[in-house]
Each structure stands twice: as C-alpha cells, then as structure tokens.
Structure 1
Amino acid sequence: MISRISDYYFVISQISFKEHKKRVSETNLGFLWNILSPLLYMLLMSNYYCNIITHDIENYPIFIFTGVNMVGFYRTATVGAMRSLVENKKLIIRTKWRLELFIYQKVFSAFKDLLYASIALMPLFYYYKIRLTIRCLIIFPVLLLTFMVIIGIGKVLAVLYVKFADIDYLYSLAMSMLPFVSAMFIPLEHFPENVQFILTYNPVFLSLYLARNCMVYGVPSFYTAWLKLIIWAVGSYSFGTYVFNKNKNVLASRL
C-alpha cells in the first residue's frame, strides 16, 4: 500500500514538474510570474475599491489577495482536472496508468501555484503588522477539505468533458462569475441578507472565509461553516469517485 502510494506520488510529481517547467519556460519572468500575477491583480483591485468605493474593510489588500489566491486555486485546479484526461490521451494509452493520477496531478500542480503565490503574503503581513498566531495551523484542515471538494468536482468534470466537450465553455462561464459569488472582493455582511444565506452554502466562500479567519484575522469561525465545508468535502469526493469509477470503461473506450 505504502509502496503504491509512493509510486503514485512519484508519477504525479514528475508529470507536474515537466508541466511546470514547460509553462515557466514560456514566460520571461518564469517562476516569479506565479508570485507577481496575483500580487498585481491584488494591487489593481484594492486600488480600485479603496479609491472609488468607500468601505471599512480591515487590511483590504490582504483581504483581496487571499481571495485571489483561493478562487484562483479552485479555478485552476477544477479546470485542469476537467481537461486532464483529454490532454493526456496519448500518455494514457501508452502507459496505462490509472486515470485518477492525471486528475490528481492537475490539482497538485494548482496547489503548488497557490503556495508560490502565497509567498507574497509574508511581506504584506509584515507591512500591515499582522501577527501570526497558533490559529494559522487551522489552514491545514481547511486546505485538506478544499482538496477533497476540488478532486470530487474535478472527477465529475473530467467524465463530462470526455463525453461532452461543450462542458468546457459552460464551466468557463461559471468560473467567470465565481469571484462575485464567493465574497472575493467584499465581506459577507456587505451583501443583502437573502444573498448572504445563499453564499454560505458555496464551498469556495466557505474555504475563503475559514482561511481568512485563521490566517489574516486570527479569529474563530462559526462551527456551521466547518460543518458545511465538511459535508461538501465528503459529499463531493464520494460522489465524484462514484461517478468516475462507474464510467471508467466508457472513458477508456473514448480516449
């Protein structure tokens, strides 16, 4: 069992490394672009909201930056998982590796991008005099639950994409609306009450809410937020795995 997991990790890390190396070589900034991209977006959006829209959001640039990172992780990981089987069709046929590995690799690659982007948080924490507390460790279960949600959704999307390529356009449209329905730009309390209720069932909002509370504000989160995200994680992962396993033969025949 341990040997198999080690082999899977080796395969995932190797594919991810080659993909990252290719992506980095296509830009002059290379690795630095992973840090600069969300940082520049944060500067743009925080400048817009700070100078045009009046608000009382504490440490707003960091509020924006954490939102950009988490929403970007969801988008990159799920879109990558959706396209993973089709993009690696030749490699799948040649190697006969387990299909799930290609989905896990895309999520793992997106997670590495999240870690790179988060490096820019350190100077921001220092500038805004944010003191890291023991609550920061809570980010680990938050990320674990987020992983489970993404993998579950990614497996379903991968199956749908093999069967119906048009799902790519529909999902891209949904992703373009994601920042506006996940409290990426403004806190939950700034939304109308009827909208607040809906947002609290959005897994992206839940991950972002829990991450901000433990990393930025150092305050406890409502237990209902944890409960909802746990339900999303277990439900998404279980349903996604069921759908994926049930369609493995269909996927193998269509690839």
Structure 2
Amino acid sequence: LTTGPLIGEGMFGLVRKGTLRTPEGELAVAAKTVRVEDPQSFGDFYREAAILVAVHQQRDGDCRESNIVRLVGLITKSVEKYILLEYAPKGDLLGFLRRFGNINEKDLLGNLLGYAVHIARALQELERLRIAHRDVAARNVLITADDVAKLADFGLARDVYVNTQYVRCNRPGVDELLPLKWMALESIETGKYTCQSDVWSFGVLLWEIATLGKDPCYDGRMQLSFLQMVGILRQGIRMEKPPGCPEDLFRLMRSCWRDVPDTRPTPEEIEERL
C-alpha cells in the first residue's frame, strides 16, 4: 500500500487515497485508519472491519452488485492499521447534492431518487445480516465512477467527514458523539439501534436529497440539544415538506418517522415505493 492525500479527517479517523499494488496491477483505494490510539477508536475500527468482512463473506466475495462499499482488504499486522475500501471518485452524496445547483422534479425523480433506491437495497443487505448501520445520512453515502450509490462508514463514521452534525450524548455514563437530527426517537431515548431505526434515518436522507443537502431543521431550529430533540419528537413534530417535493415522496418520509418502529416501512417496501 502506498498512501496519498488525505480525503477525510475527524477527531477519531483519517481516510487517505491510496494505491494498492496487487498481482493483477495497481488499484486505487480509500485507506481508513485511526487518528487517536485509544480503546474507543480501535473498537470502532475493528467493529467496522468485522461488519465489512461479514457483508463480504455473505456475498461469497462477489460485491459487484452490492450497494455497500466494497472491502478490498485489511492491514492489521503493521503499526499503522488500515481498512482498505474501494475508492469512490465522485465523493460523498452530501457534497454531490450541494454542488447540484437548482433542482426540478425531473432531476429529483429521475436521477437523485435512483441513489435512494440504491441505499434502500443496502439496508436490505444489512437487515438480512441483522446489522444496524446507526448513521445513515447523505454524508455517509459514496458515489462510484459508475454512478452507483454505496453505503459506507460503519464505525469511524461518526466523525470522519463532518463534526458539526454530531451532538454529545448526555445519558448517564455515556460519552458519545451522536447524529441527533438523523436518529430515531427510540435511539435517542434508549441508545437502542435496529434496522427500523436505520429506516428513520433513511427518511432524513430522503429529505436531504429533496433539499439538495440542506441541514435538517426541526421546528425552525438548526441547533438542538439532546433534551430539546426528545421533546420535539415526543410532541409529534417532524420536519416540514421541502419546497417542490412531491406529496408521495413526503408521505414516504413521514412513514419512516413513525413513533412505533414496527409500523415503519421495511427497506423492501421503501424500494418498491420509490
């Protein structure tokens, strides 16, 4: 592995573009490593590695059709430990949306919702493995050279690309940065994550797509504390319909944000509706 420029950075994790020399030739990769050598950072590193290995094995090594970022390899025996992932030259979906400029319904329903279909398929893969991603958001979706959206960031995620989206948890005995505005009510209250809580976050991802990457806003407020967020959601307040968003699409978002997890649509139902 030859590491190159930094392409993502946070308090706990670093991602560099790299070149991997293989018997078949050179391959561009994204090389993820920990920045701070502490138990939480290494725990996140090995958790991500284990999940990606499980996804890789479940597919018998054939990841060409997968909508989860492809694991190329792991480097764990050297001092610098790396998770090697396929390199996505178009970057993350959030940056892609914000560069889009103006949007019309044809763009939304034609191109951008295709990415949402890809991520609904990724959630189906994770559901089969009984894995909760815990941080489904536009910033954690990568766009490949072939224009396929892939779900990424299964461990170092909460800090690799963006810090401002995360709020420090204040549950007793828990010190953790959390993506509050993307989280299901039950996850905020209890710390419990499931495939259904990922569906809630997917609804926020749809809202991000419909607004071309605007920051989620509840009750007219961008910055919310842990307790404010719980209070707002408990009152039944949800994000408003984005300007120009088709009614059917907003209904799908709202269904993802139902209080009772089992009443939310499944990833298969989401794909069908999209």
TM superposition score category, shorter chain reference? 0.3 to 0.5
Task: Identify, as 1 or 2, the structure richer in helix.
Answer: 1
Q: TM-score w.r.t. structure 1 length? A: 0.34
Task: Identify, as 1 or 2, the structure richer in strand.
Answer: 2
Higher relative contact order (Cα pairs below 8 Å, separated by 6+ residues): 1
